[in-house]
Structure 1
Amino acid sequence: MSKTTPATLFLTKAGVAFDLHPYDYDPDAPRVGLQAAEALGVDPDQTFKTLMAEADGKPVCVVVPSPQEVSMKKLAAHFGAKSAHMMKVPDAERLTGFKVGGISPFGPRKMVPTAIDETAQLFDTVYINAGQRGLLLSIAPDDAARVLSAGYVDLMA
């Protein structure tokens, strides 16, 4: 497993501190983020998943706690859209350059507007995918928000 990914290169270039956390990725896990949290022995609410969605047909990225579901209504409202839905897997992979299960908000092929669930502020560090399956990174939430130009928003259903 390479520990250099577009996500780690992006953060390094931006001068943002992070630590890497490899784990045994289970492609058959019903919820990959929860499996990652368990494998690393960290609080599932501190482990954030990266989801690609479309708001009025425009790509957006949302970063939310792994156990939670995103409210499409709240997501649409945040991005000033009338409606929102999850992006299809092939579209998400093509847009980001990452495989599902390894999508990171850091260093995608194309940067898109990003929102981070407000609960990230409850933690000194959060765990977010580092750009490949089986590799998370820990980062200060404010550093993540700053480097992504992302706002904190109530996104949960």
Structure 2
Amino acid sequence: MRKIYLLSISLLIMFLLSYSITNAFGEYYYDGFMWEKISEESKLTYVVAFFDGFSNCNSMIVEKIKINGGDSVVKNIELLQKWSEDNYIIKDKSTLLQAVDGLNKFYEDYANKKIPVFLAYLIVSLRIRGFSEDEVQKHTETMRRVTNKILLK
């Protein structure tokens, strides 16, 4: 019963996020322009929902791999869990607040405003994890190019 509940919640969260992400030219597209318009509470809610959905889906993927796999997949599962924790899962309130503050600062640069929030977080997470400014800038420029190509089609 608990798995069905978690699956339902995760699917709902992922549906809401995917709807806001894929509807690029609608009012639900969360980029820097939209990010500036929403309240701080809404920003916190968005970030928390994103990570709850991601971590729940990640857990379900790991469980499915365990059920369908054998001993040969255990190391891959451990790598997936470690990678996910290192890159996405918020471990405490201060990291959550850092993410929201980082997104606010990221979108102060007009050149970043077209980048969707979920991609902007990847860049902000690099700063939180202590990557060099050169590395962060390299990823930022890549995201700008990718976003511009997608939006121009």
Q: TM-score when scaled to structure 2? A: 0.25
* Greater per-residue helix proportion: 2
Q: Which has the higher strand share?
A: 1
